Amino acid sequence: MYERNPGDTWAFTVIGDRLPIGALVAVIYFGVARTHLAAGAVLFAVVGVLVVWTAPNRWGVGIALHYLSRRYFADPDDPVPD
């Protein structure tokens, strides 16, 4: 909507947000939950709460990284002000 090229922030969102969450869920599921069911359930709940609670900050970091990439690796046609 407000991006020059809609969808440009997805790379930063996937790399900085989705991959770490997926890795954390995999570690809990395949590591802790397999050996200690109660600890795995508690960790899943804690991770779920943290994912929801920190979502605005993580999305903000993705948007900020996208802006910084536009500033430092500028495209001559990009209308980012100096």
Sign of the dihedral through C-alpha 24, 26, 29, 30: negative
Domain ranges of the chain: 10-72
17, 65 Cβ separation under 8 angstroms: no
Other Cβ atoms less than 10 A from the Cβ of 35: the count is 9
One digit per residue, pLDDT tens: the chain, 82 residues? 566 667 777 788 788 788 888 888 888 888 877 788 888 888 888 888 988 898 888 888 888 888 888 788 777 776 666 6
pTM score of the predicted model:
0.62
